[in-house]
Structure 1
Amino acid sequence: MDPLVPSALRAGGVEVPWGDVFAWTSSGALAALAAVHVYWGLGGAWPGDARHEKVEIVVGLPKGSPFPSAGPCLVVAFLLASSAALVLAQRYGRDASPALLRLGAWAVALVLGARGVGGLFEARLRPPTRALPYHRMNRLVYSPLSLALAATVVGAVLG
C-alpha cells in the first residue's frame, strides 16, 4: 500500500474507508436530486424566476414550452432514488446478490457518465439550446455534476 495515498478518511480519531465516503456522498446527492424531481412533478417553479421559466433553465426548451408533466418527473425521481439505494446496497447489502448489486452500481455510473459527457456535446445536437440559460447551466452544473457523481459511484464500487 502506498503510504502517500490514504486508504481512509481520518477525522476525530475515526477512520472511515473512502468507499464509504463515496457511497454516502453519491447516494445523498442522488437522493437530493430525486427530491428535486418530485418537487418539479408536484408543480414547483424553482429555478424559474421573473426573467426565465424553469423549462428554459432545466429542459432546454423555449419559454412557453410545456415542462414535463408529473409522470416523467416522478419516473426520473424514482430512478434517481433507486440509484441511491443501489449504490448503498452494493456497499452494505449482506443478503442480496453482490455481483448483481455491483453490476447495477456500475450501470448507474455508466448512465451518469454518459449524461455528463453527452451534455458537453448537447449544443451540437440541439443548437437552439445555445440561446437559453440551459446551455450555460448544462456546461457549468448539469454535466460536471453528472461526471462527479459517476466518479463517486465508481469510488464507492472500487473502495
Structure 2
Amino acid sequence: MYILNISTSILVFLLASIHIYWAFGGLWPGKNQQDLINKVFGRGNKFPSPFSCFVVAIGLVLFSSLPVFWLVRNDLGISPQYAKMIRYSMIFVAIVFLLRGIIGYLPWVTKHWEPIFVRYTIRMYNPLSLLIGFSFLLMSI
C-alpha cells in the first residue's frame, strides 16, 4: 500500500503543478492559447483565469495530501474520528475522479467537444482519472 499511496500522491501533485503552470500562462500541451483550450477543455475560446487555475491547483494539492495522511495516520496519532474524515474524503475524491473518467466515454457528452479533446480524453484523461479514482478507492478500503 505504501507505493500506491506515495505514487498516487505524487501523480495528483503533478496535476496540481500543471494547473499552476497554466495559471502563469503556460501553454503545454498546446501551441497557443486556442490550441490549449481545444486540448484541455474541449470547447470555447476563453481560458480560465489564473485565479481559477490556482483554485483547482489548491484542491489537487489537498487531494494529494490525503494518501500521505492516511498512510501515516497511526504514526501521527490521528484520532479515529479524524481518520474517518480522511477516509471519507478519499472516497469523495475517488468518486470525483471516477465520474470524470466515466463521463468522458459517454457519446452524448463527447459530441459537444472538439475532436482533439475527445482523442486526448479517450487516450489519456479518462484512463488517468479512472486510475486515480480506483487508487483512492483502494486506499480507502
What range is the shorter-chain TM-score in? 0.7 to 0.9
* Among candidates 109, 112, 131, match of residue 148 of structure 1: 131
The corresponding residue for 1:74 is 54
User: What is the TM-score with the length of structure 2 in the denominator?
Assistant: 0.88
SS in 1 for 2:104: helix
- Do the aligned residues in 2 keep the contact of 1:109 with 1:150 (CA within 8 Å)? yes
Which residues of 2 match residues 91-106 of structure 1 at below 5 A? 91-93=71-73, 94-96=76-78, 97-106=82-91
1:9-43 CA-to-partner distances (Å, cap 9, x unmatched) read: xxxxxxxxxx1111111101000000000000111
How many aligned residue pairs are there? 135
Q: Using the alignment, how far apart are the partners of 1:54 and 1:132 within structure 2? A: 13
The corresponding residue for 1:40 is 22
Q: Which runs of 5+ in 2 are unaligned?
A: none
1:97-142 CA-to-partner distances (Å, cap 9, x unmatched) read: 1111111111111111111111211x4125231x431110011100
Q: Which runs of 5+ in 1 are unaligned?
A: 1-18
Opposite residue 100 of structure 1, the aligned amino acid is M
* Among candidates 107, 116, 120, match of residue 137 of structure 1: 120
| Superposition CA RMSD, Å | 1.6
Q: Which runs of 4+ in 1 moved over 6 A?
A: none
Question: Higher helix proportion, which one?
Answer: 2
Q: Using the alignment, how far apart are the partners of 1:148 and 1:126 within structure 2? A: 20
